[in-house]
Amino acid sequence: MTEALAIQGLGYRRNQKQILKDINLTLPTGQIVGLLGANGAGKTTLMRLIAGSAINFRGAISVAGVTTAPQRKAQVSFSAQMDGFNPSWRVGQVADVMTALFPDFRTADFLQLAQLLALDQKQRIKRLSKGNQRKLQLAVTLSRRASLYLLDEPFDGIDVMTRKAMLSSILRWTPEQATLVISDHHVSDIDQLLDQVVVIKDQTVVAQEAADTIRTQGQSIEAYFESFYGGEQHD
Amino acid sequence: MTSTSKVFWQMTKERVRQVTQLIEIDLGVIAVLVVMRLIGRLSSEDVLGFSTLFGLITVMVGFVAQAQSQEQVWVQNRWRLVPLADWKLYCASTLANLATSVYLWAVIAAVTTVEVLVSGVKGYWSNTNLVVLASVLVLILVMLMLLWTLISLEHMLTTMITDFLPGMQEKWLRRVIILVSIVVSLKLIDWFVDGITWLVNRAGITGASFNSSVTINGSGMVMHGTVLADLWLTIIMFAGAVLILSVLNCYLLSHWVETKQTPAAV
Amino acid sequence: MEFDDKVPIYYQIEQYINREIIVGNLAPGDQVPAVRQLALTLTVNVNTIQRALAELIRDGILVSERGKGNFVTTDTAVLAQMKQRVIEDELAETYDHLAGLGMAPAEMVAALEGYIKERKEGGSHD
């Protein structure tokens, strides 16, 4: 079966600064992968490159075996795909717009997810609390049938109860053969869900390891991640 | 893969909704004018004059609103992440603007016509040649398209440059770049028009020769024939410019123009 | 369910299912909930559940029936061995903890007996 993601020799510059370099990364299908790195390490940039928001890169990116931008976009569901939605729209309207623009969007799934996450169909986006906006983003992202899901810091600023509901949603709604990549700089938010972790530091991938391997050595994933930062202070 | 027509319809729907709000404001203003006429503060001619003026203002604001909608398509994730080739996205947006404009003009024209008929003011429409009128409308449409294309080119070039150069946090630096790119683009257009004019002259095509080889209508239209031919020559020139610049825009869009990021993320 | 973050989760789930069997929540022959259901209930990855179940099947604690699902074995000998192993693990842990406090084996036995006696007598307020 083709890999969910295959990246070779990826490099990316912006404003004359090297943001990412020499990235080689392969992810199999059917896994939940944690993308770990300090604030500003390049996690979001990597997701933007995979999804197609960022386009001026060196190297090769393929998702589920396809490489051109429109094909990749059909295989990837990125949590940022709601950027630009009219804030006056209601939650229910969001589903209509998504259906028009994305043929793989499942309105029935979205309605169930919205209910699970306690989102009111009639609420306007601009009136949603930050937590509810994040929940809406998650519901939208998971309602598409994609091969690769990219969640960028989905639990940022989320309280414990909401996080539990969101974790449940992720488990329930990710298709079996799909791969899900979650970026977070607070590892403990997601660590019991992860099959493997990918650590980004110094503009490149410094480690890719199975969660079980790390724990078998008696180390928590959080400690493993922090070991890359030695005695440095980070967020 | 999303279909281009679905994207076109969604864009048109949203832009039409926006423009309808402008129309409502226009109607509101007209209502106020009519009331003032009824209480004798304005003459019929004045009402007509003001409302036509406001109709024009509405059309201009509509143009700006559509330009803004178009520019958002290039840099927002909600459009750029749609599984559709960038050039198709570009075409959908251009067509959506055209469709919205036609809708806006049709409504404003209808409203104005109603007003003219109701007010009974004579001599408003002199003997207008419908063919020439239609050609003028086409010319205006093509000119609008050229303007939108130029605005997009501007925007894309500035985005490219601000993504490429370091130290882009300074607002003044970004403004300077926008100014410079506008000046450069205008110069390019200038050269382009000069070039085409030179080509046309070399090929010996002038308005006059156009006229002699094309017979529009036997009786009394020959004079309009020249005007018509020149009109269409200009239309074709502008359309050519739109086409070439659009190809350039599509290239820039798929190779250089990236979406905006929310500030916190890297 | 809360997990120890330094031990592989699939292993902790194995332990969890073993304990469910020992205390009787899962009886011999009972069907184990479906993989996806377990994943949701315990809030862990489906792959993790699958690995845990695979290990339990390999150990003979669970039996997989094609098309039907996974069942607790009816082989009471295997289950008794498993219970023995779990008890031994608990004892080992207690032994290590008490030894770490510097207690000798005889002291440990005395302490445990004393504690059990006290628990029985003060039993009503639990």
Please tell me the distance from the alpha carbon of residue A175 to that of residue A45, in angstroms, as a whole number: 25
**Token duo for residue B15:** 């832009």
Higher pLDDT, B181 or C28: C28
Tell me the average pLDDT across C21-48: 92
- Answer yes or no: is C14 within a domain: yes
Quote the Cα angle for C22-C28-C29, to 5°: 150
Q: What is the residue whose two structure tokens read 């020799």?
A: A9
Nearest Cα to Cα of residue A3 among A142, A144, A148: A148
Complex prediction ipTM:
0.92
Percent of chain A with pLDDT over 90: 83
- Answer yes or no: is C30 within a domain: yes
Tell me the average pLDDT across A132-147: 95
Do residues B116 and B134 share a domain? no
Q: What is the residue whose two structure tokens read 């969604």?
A: B10
Per the structure, the count of domains in chain C is 2
Tens of pLDDT, residues A159-173: 888 888 999 999 999
Q: B208 falls in which pLDDT band (50, 70, 90)?
A: very low
Cβ-in-10-Å burial (0-12, 13-18, 19+) of B187 comes to: exposed
85-124 of A, contacting B, C-beta below 8 A: 85-86, 97, 100-103
Flag whether pLDDT at C12 surpasses 70.
yes
All structural domains of chain A with their residue ranges? 5-87+146-227
Tell me the average pLDDT across A183-212: 91
Q: Tell me whether residues C40 and A216 touch, CB distance under 8 A.
A: no
Flag whether pLDDT at B105 surpasses 80.
yes
Do residues B135 and B245 share a domain? yes
Residues A58/A9, Cβ–Cβ less than 8 Å: yes
Q: Tell me whether residues A171 and C48 touch, CB distance under 8 A.
A: no
Distance from the Cα of A21 to chain C's closest Cα (Å) equals 31
- Answer yes or no: is C1 within a domain: no
Residue B220: predicted pLDDT:
37
Q: What are phi and psi of B166, to 5 degrees?
A: -80, 170
Do residues B136 and B249 share a domain? yes
Sign of CA dihedral A63, A64, A68, A71: negative
Residue B33: predicted pLDDT:
87
Residue B127: predicted pLDDT:
55
Asked if A218 reaches chain C (Cβ–Cβ under 8 Å), the answer is yes
Q: Tell me whether residues C43 and A171 touch, CB distance under 8 A.
A: yes
Q: Which residues pair with C122 in a beta bridge?
A: none
- Answer yes or no: is C4 within a domain: no
Which H/E stretch holds residue C49?
A: helix C46-58
Residue A219: predicted pLDDT:
92
Residue B218: predicted pLDDT:
44
Flag whether pLDDT at A198 surpasses 70.
yes
Between strands A179-184 and A148-152, the pairing is: parallel
3-state SS, residue A42: coil
Do residues C69 and C111 share a domain? no
Task: Tally C-beta pairs within 8 A across A and B.
Answer: 104
Asked if B165 reaches chain A (Cβ–Cβ under 8 Å), the answer is yes
Please tell me the distance from the alpha carbon of residue B242 to that of residue B56, in angstroms, as a whole number: 24
Residue A24: predicted pLDDT:
97
- Answer yes or no: is B244 within a domain: yes
Flag whether pLDDT at B122 surpasses 70.
no
Tens of pLDDT, residues A11-28: 999 989 999 999 999 999
B/C touch flag: 3 or more CB pairs below 8 Å:
no
Cβ-in-10-Å burial (0-12, 13-18, 19+) of C40 comes to: middle
Nearest Cα to Cα of residue A151 among A164, A137, A165: A137
Between strands A57-63 and A5-14, the pairing is: antiparallel
Q: Between the CA atoms of B159, B160, B162 and B163, what dihedral angle is there, to the nearest 10 degrees?
A: 110
Q: Tell me whether residues B77 and A86 touch, CB distance under 8 A.
A: no
- Nearest by CB to residue C47, choosing from A188, A195, A218, is A195
Residue B230: predicted pLDDT:
79
Please tell me the distance from the alpha carbon of residue B188 to that of residue B194, in angstroms, as a whole number: 10
Residue C19: predicted pLDDT:
94
Which H/E stretch holds residue C118?
A: helix C105-121
> Which residues 6+ apart lie within 8 Å of C26 measured at CB?
C17, C20, C32, C72
Q: A4 falls in which pLDDT band (50, 70, 90)?
A: very high
Please tell me the distance from the alpha carbon of residue A228 to that of residue A207, in angstroms, as a whole number: 9
**Token duo for residue A137:** 């983003």
Tens of pLDDT, residues B11-22: 999 999 999 999
Percent of chain A with pLDDT over 70: 97
Please tell me the distance from the alpha carbon of residue A12 to that of residue A52, in angstroms, as a whole number: 13
Tell me the average pLDDT across A211-231: 90
DSSP code string of A184-218: ES-GGGTGGG-SEEEEEETTEEEEEEEHHHHHHTT
Do residues C54 and C88 share a domain? no
Residue at a domain's end among B95, B126, B157: B126
Residues B253/B160, Cβ–Cβ less than 8 Å: no
Length of chain B in terms of residues written: 266
Do residues B137 and B119 share a domain? no
Give the CATH number of the domain where residue C43 resides: 1.10.10.10
Residues of chain B with C-beta less than 8 angstroms from the C-beta of A38: none
Do residues B133 and B255 share a domain? yes
Torsion-angle region of B59 (φ positive above 0: left; ψ -120 to 50: alpha; else: beta): alpha
Please tell me the distance from the alpha carbon of residue B167 to that of residue B244, in angstroms, as a whole number: 33
Tell me the average pLDDT across B48-60: 89
Tell me the average pLDDT across B223-241: 78
Residue A233: predicted pLDDT:
54
Q: Tell me whether residues C40 and A172 touch, CB distance under 8 A.
A: yes
Please tell me the distance from the alpha carbon of residue A111 to that of residue A109, in angstroms, as a whole number: 5
Tell me the average pLDDT across B89-109: 94
Per the structure, the count of domains in chain B is 2
Q: B206 falls in which pLDDT band (50, 70, 90)?
A: low
- Nearest by CB to residue C44, choosing from A172, A192, A222, is A192
Q: What are phi and psi of B163, to 5 degrees?
A: -80, -25
Tens of pLDDT, residues C20-31: 999 999 999 999
Helix segments in A38-195, DSSP class H = 43-51, 69-75, 91-101, 107-116, 130-142, 160-173
Flag whether pLDDT at B222 surpasses 50.
no
- Answer yes or no: is C3 within a domain: no
Domain that holds residue C81: 77-121
Domain that holds residue B58: 1-126
**Token duo for residue B95:** 């067509």
3-state helix, strand, coil in chain C (%, to 5): 60, 5, 30
Asked if C40 reaches chain A (Cβ–Cβ under 8 Å), the answer is yes
Residues C61/C73, Cβ–Cβ less than 8 Å: yes
Tens of pLDDT, residues A72-97: 999 999 999 999 999 999 999 999 99
Tell me the average pLDDT across A213-233: 86
Q: B181 falls in which pLDDT band (50, 70, 90)?
A: confident
> Which residues 6+ apart lie within 8 Å of B156 measured at CB?
B74, B249, B252, B253, B256, B257
Higher pLDDT, A56 or B199: A56
Q: Tell me whether residues C45 and A194 touch, CB distance under 8 A.
A: yes
Do residues C54 and C110 share a domain? no
Residue B35: predicted pLDDT:
87
Residues B136/B128, Cβ–Cβ less than 8 Å: no
Residues C43/A167, Cβ–Cβ less than 8 Å: yes
Do residues B63 and B11 share a domain? yes
For A49, B148, B208, B248, B250, the CA distances from B162, given in Å and listed in that order, are 18, 21, 48, 19, 19
Do residues B90 and B142 share a domain? no
Do residues B167 and B244 share a domain? yes
Q: Which residues pair with A18 in a beta bridge?
A: A13
Residue A232: predicted pLDDT:
56
- Answer yes or no: is B266 within a domain: no
Strand-by-strand arrangement of the A76-78 sheet: A76-78, A148-152, A179-184, A32-36, A196-201, A204-210
Tell me the average pLDDT across B111-125: 72
Flag whether pLDDT at A146 surpasses 80.
yes
| Domain covering A5-87+146-227 in this structure, CATH number | 3.40.50.300
Flag whether pLDDT at B265 surpasses 50.
no
Highest mean pLDDT out of B129-133, B208-212, B236-240: B236-240
Residue B217: predicted pLDDT:
45
DSSP E strand boundaries for C33-105: 62-65, 69-72
Residues of chain C with C-beta less than 8 angstroms from the C-beta of A168: 40, 43
Residue A203: predicted pLDDT:
93
Tell me the average pLDDT across A49-63: 95
Residue B203: predicted pLDDT:
58
Flag whether pLDDT at B41 surpasses 80.
no
Please tell me the distance from the alpha carbon of residue C19 to that of residue B255, in angstroms, as a whole number: 59
